[in-house]
A and B are shown apart, each in its own frame.
Chain A
Amino acid sequence: MSETKSMNQQGFLNLFLTAGCDSFPHALRKSFLVAVWFAFLTFPIMVIKVNTIENTVVWHWHKIGYLAVAVFFGSFIWRWLLARKELKKDENREETRIESLLTRVQSHPVLKYLALGVLAAAAAVFPQVFNLYQTNIMISCLLYIVLGLGLNIVVGLAGLLDLGFVAFYAVGAYAYALCNMHWGLNFWFMLPVGAVLGALLGILLGFPVLRLRGDYLAIVTLGFGEIIRLVLENWGEVTMGPSGISSIDRPALFGVKLGVIGSTHYMYYIMIGLVILTIFSVNRLQNSRIGRAWLALREDEIACQAMGIDKMKTKLMAFSLGATWAGMAGVVFAAKTTFINPASFTFWESAIILSIVVIGGMGSIRGVIAGAVILILVPEYLRDFAQFRMLLFGAIMVLVMVFRPQGLISAKRKVYEYKVNTAGAANE
């Protein structure tokens, strides 16, 4: 073990310096060329700032110097990572450290309950230990976990690319906001109503569009999401238009209205409950008859039909079940921010939820949770670099996709072990 390690270290350095090239000088030349190329590429936009009114130009030559140096070294890392990905291609099945750790914990009953206990305790004391702001963004994060798990049913399990998921989210949020404004209906009543509305809308949308395939489905769902948003924006008499709906009630604890701190904590525990419910349900769904039908549908539609699975029904189920969670999350969202307007339900929102699912790992519950934690919490903590936040966000999305396209934590297929003896042979 130790010998291989030292050998590995030497090999590592070697690989790092010459990855994807014949020799070190070759690598140097390649990196140099890449740096020059990027300097050329970014030259007009980074260096020149013209003012066409006053006809002045400002040159920022130094920027291109920094960039070229960064690209020069970055290209080594890039090639090395690519080469590594190539090398490990055949070992794709092999789990990463974190994955195997998770699996080991999961398959060991004592460890499993211990880990769950620790997690539960941590979740329970979180709002007491951390301040209000941390709790608040944790609620956002939990909200996105629910949304991500909902979309995971549609995209991850059933393999239907939905770019308009935010429509269901908006419907839930507006349902609660409007009912609360007009009739004073409370949160607990509207939570299931939001879910049902989401499911109904999922079926309504699903009927016409599910015969479309792949990218066509994607663009139609995108269009549908935009239509919902535009209607919310323009149908001012009902939805209050772009100025939105304010002073939505926060959930009350047995009829007692809580202050900001109290209700934030309360909201946090509601979200924890909702996340647990979601994980439990999605997990059960995944292993149920319908869940297996989704997986089959994702892998091969035709074979799936040949096996006697009702394609339409299965797809509709996926759509409406996914939308159910979005509807619920919408209700929670409206109650959390106490103000909603159509600006919260743009295409970018759908794109972020989709990124959570894909970066985390499609079809994997653990992955989606990891994805939500990374994509929602990291940008929050990057507030100090507010300007660079979205830049990094975009770059991370590309890098994760390039180097780990299966997502951070890939889905683990359930293995059914047959422990039959010779009697099974007759069936073949």
Chain B
Amino acid sequence: MKFKLSLIALCLAMVAMLAACGGEEKKAEEAAPAEKAAAEQPAAKLVLGVAGAHSGDLASYGLPSVNAAKLAAAKINAAGGVNGAMVEVVAQDDQCKPEQATNAATKMLSDGVKIVLGHICSGATKAALPIYLEGKIVVMSPSATNPPLTQSGDYPNFFRTIAPDDAQAALEVDFAKSIGLKKVAIIHDKGDYGKGFATFCKQFVDADADIEAVLFEGVTPGAVDYSAVVQKIKGSGADGVIFGGYHPEASKIVTGMRKKGLEIPFLSDDGVKDDTFIKVAGKYAEGVYATGPKDFSSNPIYQEAVAAHKAEFGSDPGPFFPEAYSAALALLNAVKVAGSTDYDAVMNALHNSYVDTAVGKIKFDAKGDAEGVGFSVYQVQDGKYAEVK
């Protein structure tokens, strides 16, 4: 009895706590009137699974894709749905952890989901893909850039709306050479993405006689400061820094470098080509180069999606939002073209028919990488990323 009562009390306390946080939920509900309308009609529904980090320390990379999927679904539902079926978004959290990702994948599999937008992290994607492959589920990631995911050919069901790391690294090194760097320090964040990118950069640098890597080091994400690494960069005599990783570490390193009077060029990757980086690093961000997907800010679909995001969620979209939005559109379009969620038909549609998305008009090559999606180099100028021509 004692036990039972304490359990009840516990539940009550939980409910009370939830109620306190309820404000936000309500907003989310209001935000999706189209979905609600869809639920009222007994029409057929098409489930779009969204998997990725929705909690934990990487949540800020995963949540934008959920918003993107919701907006894309709302847009398509407003236009009558996919072949008459209303799109429903079901999100599964994997916290970017492999074991959680397999759980999320089996959940999708047993719920009969046929198209999945995700996962966010390459590691989690790798863990989940075999399950999707078995279940004949088509997966499209907005952010998993690890090259072997498509290039190994192990996972024909995997697609992505972002270009792989090696293409980006090649561009980065070419660009470093073009601005006259001779000795670069390559720094990474020891993560799957950052270290992978940095390793590719090092390979390209080593293969090139005109440029050499004087330093190759990893920093610990979340460490309180990076002054020792900054000193080391300074001591190495490098005339430029290439950083592989995400914006929190990048802004800490750049801030540290500039504060210490180290004004050498700082080149980074897609994880840094994010407006949050400029916001966080502030004036120190000025002049930083970052590679990122080709400029699509003039793309009408992109503009429309951003406007919709602002209207619905009251904020600017986060990282990988355009890619996720495009992936959702591409998946839903493929189902539309295929006429059903039949695996082969959807795959066929993805490989063969072009679709207009926020990242441009794309289709997918035999390996699953999007054609027409590439990288450009950007530089922070006056607090904005501007493409370097």
Digitize A210-241: 1 where CB-to-B-CB distance is under 8 Å, 0 elsewhere: 00000000000000000000000110100001
Q: Tell me whether A53 is interfacial, beta carbon within 8 Å.
A: yes
Chain A residues with CB under 8 A of B1: 97
Contacts known (A98-B3, A242-B191); A264 close to B106, Cβ less than 8 A: yes
Query: In the complex, how many residues of chain B place their beta carbon closer than 8 angstroms to a beta carbon of chain A?
Result: 52
Inter-subunit contact B56/A344 (CB<8 Å): no
CB distance from B30 to the nearest CB of A (A): 14
Inter-subunit contact A244/B93 (CB<8 Å): no
Number of A-B contacts (CB under 8 A): 146
Chain B residues with CB under 8 A of A396: 10, 14
B94, closest chain A residue (CB):
A386
A339, closest chain B residue (CB):
B127
A-B contact pairs, 15 of them (CB 8 A): A63-B23, A74-B16, A133-B106, A236-B195, A247-B154, A260-B134, A260-B135, A264-B106, A336-B102, A339-B102, A339-B126, A344-B97, A380-B103, A383-B92, A386-B54
- How far, in angstroms, from A340 to B99 measured CA to CA in the complex? 8
- Please classify the interface of chain B as helix (H, G, I), strand (E, B), loop, or mixed, using the class held by over half of its residues: helix
CB distance from A268 to the nearest CB of B (A): 12
Inter-subunit contact A133/B6 (CB<8 Å): no
CB distance from B190 to the nearest CB of A (A): 6
Digitize A386-422: 1 where CB-to-B-CB distance is under 8 Å, 0 elsewhere: 1111111001100100011000100000000000000
B66, closest chain A residue (CB):
A386
4 closest A-B pairs by beta carbon, nearest first, are A70-B16, A260-B134, A339-B127, A131-B110
Chain B residues with CB under 8 A of A71: 16
Chain A residues with CB under 8 A of B3: 96-98, 408
Digitize B75-115: 1 where CB-to-A-CB distance is under 8 Å, 0 elsewhere: 00000000000000001110011110011001101110000
Chain B residues with CB under 8 A of A60: 23
Q: Tell me whether B20 is interfacial, beta carbon within 8 Å.
A: yes
A38, closest chain B residue (CB):
B20
Inter-subunit contact A341/B110 (CB<8 Å): no
Chain A residues with CB under 8 A of B55: 386-387, 389-390
- How far, in angstroms, from A233 to B134 measured CA to CA in the complex? 30
Interface residues of B in 268-285 (CB under 8 A from A): 279
- How far, in angstroms, from A297 to B3 measured CA to CA in the complex? 31
Interface residues of B in 180-222 (CB under 8 A from A): 190-192, 195-196, 218
Q: Tell me whether B389 is interfacial, beta carbon within 8 Å.
A: no
Interface residues of A in 242-290 (CB under 8 A from B): 242-244, 246-247, 259-261, 264
Q: Tell me whether B146 is interfacial, beta carbon within 8 Å.
A: yes
- How far, in angstroms, from A399 to B9 measured CA to CA in the complex? 10
Inter-subunit contact B6/A403 (CB<8 Å): yes
- How far, in angstroms, from A403 to B18 measured CA to CA in the complex? 21
CB distance from B111 to the nearest CB of A (A): 7
Chain A positions within 8 Å of B, measured between CB atoms, are: 53, 60, 62-63, 66-67, 70-71, 73-74, 77-78, 80-81, 84, 88, 96-98, 131-134, 136-137, 140, 233-234, 236, 241-244, 246-247, 259-261, 264, 333, 336-341, 343-344, 380, 383, 385-392, 395-396, 399, 403-404, 408
Q: Tell me whether B12 is interfacial, beta carbon within 8 Å.
A: yes
Inter-subunit contact A137/B103 (CB<8 Å): yes
Inter-subunit contact A243/B22 (CB<8 Å): no
Inter-subunit contact B93/A133 (CB<8 Å): no
Q: Tell me whether B224 is interfacial, beta carbon within 8 Å.
A: no
CB distance from B206 to the nearest CB of A (A): 16
Chain A residues with CB under 8 A of B110: 131-134
Which of B9, B20, B97, B190 sits near A242, CB closer than 8 Å? B190
Which of B2, B14, B127, B134 sits near A246, CB closer than 8 Å? B127
Chain A residues with CB under 8 A of B17: 70, 391-392, 395
B282, closest chain A residue (CB):
A53
Which of B23, B99, B109, B218 sits near A344, CB closer than 8 Å? B99
CB distance from B56 to the nearest CB of A (A): 7
